[in-house]
């Protein structure tokens, strides 16, 4: 197995981070439910493998909640970084299409504070509740064109990388779209000679493998259904490329 990439899900409570993480994993690994209180309270991780690439999916609580104690936020950010280890990270900013809230206006600034000023270059905006758009006869592009300027700014800053998830759609096809977006993002980063990890040497190798493996072959029928061996569950994906 080729060691791997960290997929970190971030966003406000109730946006569907855990549901989306489960869709990526192809199994109900993380609790996800309707609730007036935050459901996820700790950073949690699980692994999956797609075409030989180990992906560590990292689900997080809403760590950008204004009411959260700064010390707790700092702990969650540290937990997240520790779980990621030295592995490459892709961030999914999870938002739902039904509302753009005040707390989300400066979410990228908060993400930059927590994970570094280049975080938006590695972020894909993942919109949930795609069925709400479908029912209204709107495409994601239609939605974005008429969306709040603050949301448009976030999407632009993330290189216009967006995907739409919905509960009733096949996980496989939406996860495939997501991974295509991720591999496109990594491809662009490969041509950038300024990337910090590029200078470290392992990032280009991983990107090449991701592009070759994800982009080059048809999607396997069992994608997302990988059940990690217990030893793999214990240790985060390394980067011994």
Ligand X SMILES: Nc1nc2c(ncn2[C@@H]2O[C@H](COP(=O)(O)OP(=O)(O)OP(=O)(O)O)[C@@H](O)[C@H]2O)c(=O)[nH]1
Secondary structure letter of residue 152 according to DSSP: H
13 binds, among ligand X, Mg ion, none (CB under 5 to 8 A by kind): ligand X
- Residue 211 is a binding residue for Mg ion (CB under 5 A): no
- Residue 129 is a binding residue for ligand X (CB under 6 A): yes
16 binds, among Mg ion, ligand X, none (CB under 5 to 8 A by kind): ligand X
220 binds, among ligand X, Mg ion, none (CB under 5 to 8 A by kind): none
Cα(103)–Cα(11) distance, rounded to whole angstroms? Answer: 10
Binding ligand X by CB under 6 A: which of 18, 44, 88, 174? 18
Smaller CB distance to Mg ion: residue 10 or 185? 10
Question: What are 9's strand-pairing partners?
Answer: 59, 92
x/- site string to Mg ion, residues 26 to 55, per CB under 5 A? Answer: -------------xx---------------
Secondary structure letter of residue 240 according to DSSP: -
CA-CA-CA-CA dihedral for 17, 23, 25, 26, to nearest 10? 160
Q: At what angle do helices 70-84 and 107-115 cross, to 10 degrees?
A: 60
For 179, the token pair is 């991974």
Residues in contact with ligand X by CB under 6 A are 11, 13-19, 32-34, 38-40, 61-62, 128-131, 165-167
């Amino acid at each position: 197995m080729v060691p791997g990439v960290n997929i970190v899900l971030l966003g406000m409570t109730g946006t569907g981070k855990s549901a989306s993480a489960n869709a990526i994993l192809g199994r109900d690994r993380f609790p996800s439910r309707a609730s007036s209180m935050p459901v996820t309270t700790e950073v949690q991780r699980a692994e999956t493998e797609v075409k030989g690439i180990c992906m560590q999916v990292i689900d997080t609580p809403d760590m950008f909640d204004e009411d959260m104690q700064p010390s707790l936020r700092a702990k969650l950010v540290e937990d997240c970084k520790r779980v990621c280890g030295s592995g490459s990270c892709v961030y999914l900013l999870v938002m739902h299409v039904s509302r753009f809230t005040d707390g989300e206006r400066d979410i990228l600034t908060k993400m930059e504070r927590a994970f570094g000023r280049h975080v938006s270059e590695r972020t894909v905006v993942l919109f949930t509740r795609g069925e709400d758009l479908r029912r209204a006869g709107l495409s994601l592009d239609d939605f974005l064109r008429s969306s709040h300027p603050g949301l448009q700014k976030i999407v632009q800053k993330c290189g216009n990388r967006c995907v739409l998830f919905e509960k009733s759609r096949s996980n496989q096809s939406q996860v495939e779209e997501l991974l295509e977006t991720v591999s496109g993002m990594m491809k662009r980063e490969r041509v950038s000679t300024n990337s910090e990890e590029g200078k470290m040497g392992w990032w280009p190798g991983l990107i090449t493998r991701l592009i070759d493996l994800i982009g080059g072959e048809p999607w396997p029928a069992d994608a997302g259904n990988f059940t990690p061996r217990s030893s793999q569950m214990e240790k985060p994906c390394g980067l011994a490329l």
